[in-house]
Amino acid sequence: MIKRLTVIGVGLIGGSLALALRRAGEVGHVTGVGRSLANLELAEQRGIIDAYTTNAAEAVTQADMVVIAVSVGASGEIFNTVRSALPASAVITDVGSAKGSVVAAARTALGDRFPRFVAGHPIAGTEHSGAGAAFVDLYVDHKVVLTPEPDTDQDALAQVGAMWTAVGADVISMPVDAHDRALAATSHLPHLLAFNLVDMLAQHEDGESIFDFAAGGFRDFTRIASSSPQMWTEIALANRDAVLASGRDYAERFEALLLALERGDSEALLAIFESARHTRNRNIVQVRKDGE
Ligand code: NAP
């Protein structure tokens, strides 16, 4: 059980974790930290947090566990702010969608406290933001990836793993690079494609009336283009090399598909579509709850 939890960034991800820990009876007192009072007041009204402040350093002085759940670009500044206020026994973790840049920032800012930091990423989410979007079941039956470093304390790793297990998640560990390559391909690139496609259509010669003809397929494919533009700009930049590699691979394959179409090569088109359908049916269709 976590006696005193501090959640820095009480939005969809941080807020849902606090709600789920409460339901599991695994947390005593929860302090929320944010920049806007309106979001923190809403979090308190919804029973997500017991108290709040806009001062991150003040909020961690009594904490047993600190969860940083702000956008990846903001986490470096948070590590700097809390470093000297953290109790020696506190465990600190994060939920950022890209891990390499966050781990590097934590190592620099936390110094000799770095072993108490466990980088993490819940593979769960929606396109909605803020405390109003938090919900208690978000992590049930979802994976949470932890990316410990060789000098991460085993005790800190065990505490963070136990926290996620308590909210119903399936915890796995993997190296930072492997995480960032996998998520570039399965999450970050799809977000770029969805944003780009909707933006392309927004500039269509028929104007936005083109969307009158958008049905279920378009809605499914582009749901994630309703996600926070600021958050996804930061994720793309934070995982730039892996996203570029995946994006260039995709651009090459898309060009090959267009060439097959241009030459009327039904065999080539059919081969791509059949392989894609079989792969998706085998790997994705049963996994209905997976998020970002
Ligand atoms: P969110 O709903 O926008 O929540 C982030 C919260 O952080 C906001 O409530 C914001 O409130 C607060 N915040 C932002 N900057 C801050 C700062 N400098 N100091 C203190 N609080 C700050 O975003 P989210 O979807 O929960 O995402 C949070 C993290 O989870 C991101 O790193 C993201 O990569 C990761 N993640 C997201 C998903 C997803 O599907 N959304 C899935 C997995 C992981 P104020 O604006 O009031 O400060």
33: Cβ below 6 Å to ligand 1? yes
Residue 288 has pLDDT above 70, yes or no: no
Give the three-class secondary structure for 94. Answer: strand
Phi, psi of 236 (to 5 degrees): -60, -45
Question: Which atom belonging to ligand 1 lies closest to the Cα atom of 97?
Answer: 34
Looking at residue 287, what is its pLDDT?
Answer: 55
Mean pLDDT of 87-102: 97
CB atoms within 10 A of CB 98: 26
Q: What is the mean pLDDT of residues 211-216?
A: 88
One-character DSSP codes across the chain: -EEEEEEES-SHHHHHHHHHHHHTT-EEEEEEE-S-HHHHHHHHHTTS-SEEES-HHHHHTT-SEEEE-S-HHHHHHHHHHHGGGS-TT-EEEE--S--HHHHHHHHHHHGGGGGGEE-EEES---S--SGGG--TTTTTT-EEEE---TTS-HHHHHHHHHHHHHTT-EEEE--HHHHHHHHIIIIIHHHHHHHHHHHHHHT-TTGGGGGGG--HHHHHHHGGGGS-HHHHHHHHHHTHHHHHHHHHHHHHHHHHHHHHHHTT-HHHHHHHHHHHHHHHHHHTTT-TT---
Closest CA to ligand 1's atom 9: 11
32 pocket-lining for ligand 1 (C-beta < 6 Å)? no
Do 30 and 66 touch, CB atoms closer than 8 A?
no
Nearest partner of 183 among 167, 169, 172, 197, judged by Cα: 172
Q: Residue 162 has what pLDDT?
A: 98
Assess contact for 131 and 42: CB atoms under 8 A: yes
Question: The domain at 2-174 falls in which architecture?
Answer: 3-Layer(aba) Sandwich (3.40)
Q: Where are the domains of the chain?
A: 2-174, 178-291
Q: Given this model, what pLDDT does residue 63 score?
A: 98
Whether residue 117 has pLDDT greater than 70? yes
Return the residue whose CA atom lies nearest to atom 19 of ligand 1.
34
Q: Which spans in 83-215 are helix H?
A: 100-110, 154-166, 176-183, 189-202
User: Best of 6, 12, 16 to mutate for ligand 1, by most ligand atoms within 8 A of CB?
Assistant: 12
**122 Cβ closer than 6 Å to some ligand 1 atom:** yes
Residue 96 in contact with ligand 1 by CB distance below 6 A = yes
Residue-level pLDDT at 209: 87
Give mean pLDDT, residues 176-186: 98
Higher pLDDT, 212 or 74: 74
Ligand 1 atom having least distance to the Cα of 130: 2
- The residue-averaged pLDDT of 42-70 equals 98
Please check whether residue 43 is in contact with residue 69, taking contact to mean a CB–CB distance below 8 angstroms.
no
70 Cα: distance to centroid of ligand 1 (angstroms) = 4
Give the pLDDT score at 286.
60
The domain made up of 178-291 is a member of CATH 3.40.710.10: no
Give 256 Cα–ligand 1 centroid separation in angstroms: 38
pLDDT score recorded for residue 206: 83
3-state helix, strand, coil in the chain (%, to 5): 60, 15, 30
Sort 139 into a burial class: Cβ within 10 Å, 0-12 / 13-18 / 19+: buried
The verdict on the CB of residue 6 being under 6 Å from ligand 1 is no
* Ligand 1 near 222 CB (within 6 A): no
Percent above pLDDT 90 for the chain: 92
Question: Does the model's pTM come out above 0.75?
Answer: yes
The residue whose CB lies within 8 Å of the most ligand 1 atoms, and thus the one to mutate among 36, 66, 70, 139, is: 70
Q: Is 95 in the pocket of ligand 1 (CB under 6 A)?
A: yes
Most confident of 204-208, 209-213, 243-247: 243-247
Short-list 95, 112, 103, 14, CA closest to 59: 14
pLDDT digits (tens, 9 = 90+) for 126-150: 999 999 999 999 999 999 999 999 9
Q: Evaluate if residue 289 carries a pLDDT over 70.
A: no
**What does the pLDDT read at residue 207?**
82
User: Mind listing the pLDDT tens digit for each residue in 42-52?
Assistant: 999 999 999 99
CA of 68 to the centre of ligand 1 (A): 9
Same fold, 2-174 and 178-291: no
pLDDT of residue 20: 98
Give the pLDDT mean for 153-160: 98
Strand pairing category for 120-122 and 27-33: unpaired
